[in-house]
């Protein structure tokens, strides 16, 4: 046995990253190398980089798709696992679904055992159960099915004879869950009917089960092969045959969520996209992230000067969470904390910015009615204490002048401190342009005017105009229209929450 080297055969689950086990997630975070398959969701690999590491995790893509050389490649995979573990590495062998359900995980375990390499098996949620569940089909149901059979439809193309006894399965009753076997589906269903299974038995095919792009096709045993062909479903597909399939009329849920089937682009900087993307995905949307901008540091001399002498200000006003974060980091670098702002009143444009301040122990003194600069200005005006006040205005480069100008109009002395700029990013623009060109995208979301301009620059005017926009508020909408794009949705409250609500309640027309 090697000392430290170990291989974890981890089930990645069927696709939805939330279906990875806690143990699997823990191992992905802590391992040295990941050897993964085509059917393991690549989004899971991101878990490996959530913590800072001395050396980055080694990634080995050994994805293979049912070719004739699959068994030869399998030997290479086993050899790779042995080699990595023998070098003392903690290796995650990430396999789609469950490693021991039609996943050849057991062959890898045999090879590791033979080589004297330590290994552990972490089961996963298998596609046969999960894709069915996400299509609204329970694999067993009292009164409808008392047994379930997992069977592979795909037989080794090198094997001359069939080894599955379809007529025995036809007689057994219960639910049949078929893995693989798209190419042999017509033959399989015919054999089941020949074996005595009623041709009108409900049957379903679920492609990319548990993913936002899941597609389902419902038929009966005798019509399924035609239906699947007509709908153009290709691997990966799980086929479910049995009376339980009829239950989906009552209990389908995944495809009934409000944004299911909608492909929605999120253009927020990647450091800030998680909330919007997560909320849209939770409502069923397929989220495509294309960060139009990213936060770039600017020269902080003025910021440091302001921090060194905070007591000369009466007010500090923040226009974004980024501004708060950067200001706070600079304050801490200076050895100071929230007490340095003890004598100041604090203002923020919106609730997210106010929340970021509260995380630093700072509550705002003024709440605008609407979350735009004009509204904050109005609230400040109503207080009547800005005349002669000294205001520290912390903002992004190129921010609108509404607040500083308006404050000066109220008699305040304003120091405008630039904390960051939004620089163009555009990661993933080429792939997104293709999807826009092919008309696949239903909506592009914008949460700032700078993102609109950067998006159009990255994608090009023509492609950008193929999909309607959803905007967080009137200022962003203006920028969307100015870029020649259509504003289909505008949030009535300028927050992420407001934007998500406006999108979810939009009357969608194909």
Name residues whose C-beta falls within 8 Å of residue 28's C-beta, 6 or more positions apart in sequence: 10, 20, 34, 44, 45, 47, 48, 92, 94
User: Which of 237, 269, 391, 395 touches ligand SAH (CB under 6 A)?
Assistant: 237
Residue of 455, 434, 458 lying closest to 446 (CA atoms): 455
Q: Least CB distance from residue 252 to ligand SAH, whole Å?
A: 16
Should residue 24 be labelled a site residue for ligand SAH when binding is judged by CB under 6 A?
Answer: no
Stretch that binds ligand SAH, among 89-97, 243-251, 303-311, 495-503 (CB under 6 A): 89-97
Helices (H), 101-217: 105-114, 127-134, 166-172, 185-194
Should residue 131 be labelled a site residue for ligand SAH when binding is judged by CB under 6 A?
Answer: yes
Instruction: Note if 182 is an active site residue.
Output: no
Choose between 205 and 316: whose C-beta lies nearer to ligand SAH.
Answer: 205
Q: Least CB distance from residue 266 to ligand SAH, whole Å?
A: 23
User: Which of 8, 36, 102, 315 touches ligand SAH (CB under 6 A)?
Assistant: 102
Choose between 131 and 503: whose C-beta lies nearer to ligand SAH.
Answer: 131
Q: Least CB distance from residue 37 to ligand SAH, whole Å?
A: 8
Choose between 41 and 322: whose C-beta lies nearer to ligand SAH.
Answer: 41
Instruction: Note if 1 is an active site residue.
Output: no
For residue 138, what are its two tokens? Answer: 């329970």
Binding mask 27-46 for ligand SAH (x = CB under 6 A): ------------x-------
Stretch that binds ligand SAH, among 126-134, 159-167, 191-199, 289-297 (CB under 6 A): 126-134
Should residue 210 be labelled a site residue for ligand SAH when binding is judged by CB under 6 A?
Answer: yes
Q: What are 286's strand-pairing partners? A: 263
Per DSSP, the three-state class of 16 is coil
Instruction: Note if 180 is an active site residue.
Output: yes
Burial label, 462 (beta-carbon count in 10 A; 0-12, 13-18, 19+): exposed
What letter does residue 311 receive in the DSSP assignment?
Answer: G
What letter does residue 155 receive in the DSSP assignment?
Answer: P
User: Which of 235, 302, 475, 504 touches ligand SAH (CB under 6 A)?
Assistant: 235
Per DSSP, the three-state class of 287 is strand
Cis peptide before 277 (omega within 30 of 0): no
User: Which of 127, 203, 287, 391 touches ligand SAH (CB under 6 A)?
Assistant: 127
Per DSSP, the three-state class of 396 is strand
Q: 361 — alpha (psi -120 to 50), left (phi > 0) or beta?
A: left
DSSP per-residue codes, 39-87: TS-GGGGGGGGSS--SSPPEEEE----S-TTHHHHHHHHHHHHHHHHHT
Should residue 206 be labelled a site residue for ligand SAH when binding is judged by CB under 6 A?
Answer: yes
Rg value, the chain, Cα: 29
**Given strand 148-152, what is the order of strands in its sheet?**
148-152, 175-179, 237-241, 202-207, 215-220
Q: Least CB distance from residue 452 to ligand SAH, whole Å?
A: 35
**Per the residue annotation, which of 16, 32, 37, 98 is the catalytic one?**
37
Stretch that binds ligand SAH, among 93-101, 163-171, 245-253, 391-399 (CB under 6 A): 93-101
User: Which of 179, 328, 371, 446 touches ligand SAH (CB under 6 A)?
Assistant: 179
For residue 139, what are its two tokens? Answer: 């694999």
Q: Least CB distance from residue 24 to ligand SAH, whole Å?
A: 13
What letter does residue 474 receive in the DSSP assignment?
Answer: H
Q: Least CB distance from residue 135 to ligand SAH, whole Å?
A: 10
- Distance, in Å, from the CA atom of 466 to the CA atom of 440, rounded to the nearest integer, reads 10
CB 262 within 8 A of CB 442: yes
Should residue 204 be labelled a site residue for ligand SAH when binding is judged by CB under 6 A?
Answer: no
What's the helix, strand, coil split of the chain in %, to 5? 40, 20, 40
**Per the residue annotation, which of 89, 98, 180, 290 is the catalytic one?**
180
Q: Least CB distance from residue 127 to ligand SAH, whole Å?
A: 3
- Distance, in Å, from the CA atom of 69 to the CA atom of 76, rounded to the nearest integer, reads 11
Should residue 404 be labelled a site residue for ligand SAH when binding is judged by CB under 6 A?
Answer: no
User: Which of 5, 24, 202, 236 touches ligand SAH (CB under 6 A)?
Assistant: 236
Should residue 98 be labelled a site residue for ligand SAH when binding is judged by CB under 6 A?
Answer: yes
Q: Which residue's CB atom is positioned nearest to ligand SAH?
A: 97
Choose between 94 and 432: whose C-beta lies nearer to ligand SAH.
Answer: 94
Q: Least CB distance from residue 176 to ligand SAH, whole Å?
A: 13
Q: Which residues bind ligand SAH (CB under 6 A)?
A: 14-15, 39, 95-98, 101-103, 126-127, 131, 179-180, 206, 208-210, 235-238
The residues assigned a catalytic role are 37, 64, 180
């Amino acid at each position: 046995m090697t000392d430290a080297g170990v291989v974890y055969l981890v089930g990645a689950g069927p696709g939805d990253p939330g279906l990875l086990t806690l143990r699997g997630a823990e191992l992905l975070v802590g391992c040295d190398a990941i050897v993964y398959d085509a059917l393991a969701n690549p989004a899971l690999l991101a878990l490996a980089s959530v913590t800072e590491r001395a050396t980055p995790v080694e990634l080995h893509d050994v994805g293979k798709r049912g070719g004739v050389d699959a068994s030869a490649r399998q030997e290479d995979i086993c050899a790779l696992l042995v080699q990595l573990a023998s070098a003392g590495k903690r290796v995650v062998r990430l396999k789609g679904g469950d490693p021991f359900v039609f996943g050849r995980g057991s062959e890898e375990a045999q090879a590791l055992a033979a080589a004297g390499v330590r290994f552990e098996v972490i089961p996963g949620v298998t596609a046969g159960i999960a894709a069915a569940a996400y299509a609204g089909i329970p694999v067993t149901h009292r009164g409808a099915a008392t047994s379930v059979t997992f069977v592979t439809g795909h037989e080794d193309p090198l094997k001359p004879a069939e080894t599955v006894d379809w007529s025995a399965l036809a007689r057994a009753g219960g639910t049949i869950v078929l893995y693989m076997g798209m190419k042999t589906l017509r033959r399989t269903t015919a054999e089941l009917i020949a074996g005595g299974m009623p041709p009108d038995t409900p049957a379903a095919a679920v492609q990319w089960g548990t993913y936002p792009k899941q597609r389902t096709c419902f038929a009966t045993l005798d019509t399924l092969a035609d239906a699947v062909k007509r709908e153009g479903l290709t691997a990966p597909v799980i086929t479910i045959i049995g009376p339980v399939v009829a239950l989906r009329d009552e209990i389908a849920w995944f495809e009934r969520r409000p944004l299911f089937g909608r492909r929605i682009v999120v253009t927020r900087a990647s450091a800030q996209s998680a909330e919007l993307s997560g909320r849209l995905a939770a409502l069923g949307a397929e989220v495509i992230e294309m960060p139009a901008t990213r936060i770039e540091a600017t020269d902080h001399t003025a910021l440091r000067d302001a921090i060194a002498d905070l007591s000369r200000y009466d007010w500090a006003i923040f226009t974004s969470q980024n501004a708060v974060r950067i200001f706070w980091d600079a304050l801490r670098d200076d050895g100071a904390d929230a007490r340095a702002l003890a004598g100041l009143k604090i203002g923020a444009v919106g609730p997210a910015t106010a929340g970021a301040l509260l995380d630093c122990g700072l509550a705002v003194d003024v709440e605008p009615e609407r979350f735009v600069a004009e509204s904050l200005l109005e609230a400040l005006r109503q207080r009547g204490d800005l005349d002669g006040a000294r205001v520290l205005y912390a903002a992004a480069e190129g921010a609108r002048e509404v607040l500083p100008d308006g404050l000066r109009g109220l008699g305040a002395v304003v120091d405008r401190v630039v904390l960051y700029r939004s620089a163009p990013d555009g990661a993933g623009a080429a792939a997104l342009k293709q999807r826009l060109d092919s008309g696949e995208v239903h909506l592009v979301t914008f949460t700032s005017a700078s993102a609109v301009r950067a998006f159009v620059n990255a994608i090009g005017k023509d492609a950008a105009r193929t999909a309607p926009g959803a905007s967080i508020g009137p200022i962003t909408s203006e920028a969307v229209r100015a870029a020649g794009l259509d504003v289909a949705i505008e949030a009535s409250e300028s927050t992420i929450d407001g934007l998500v609500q406006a999108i979810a309640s939009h009357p969608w027309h194909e």
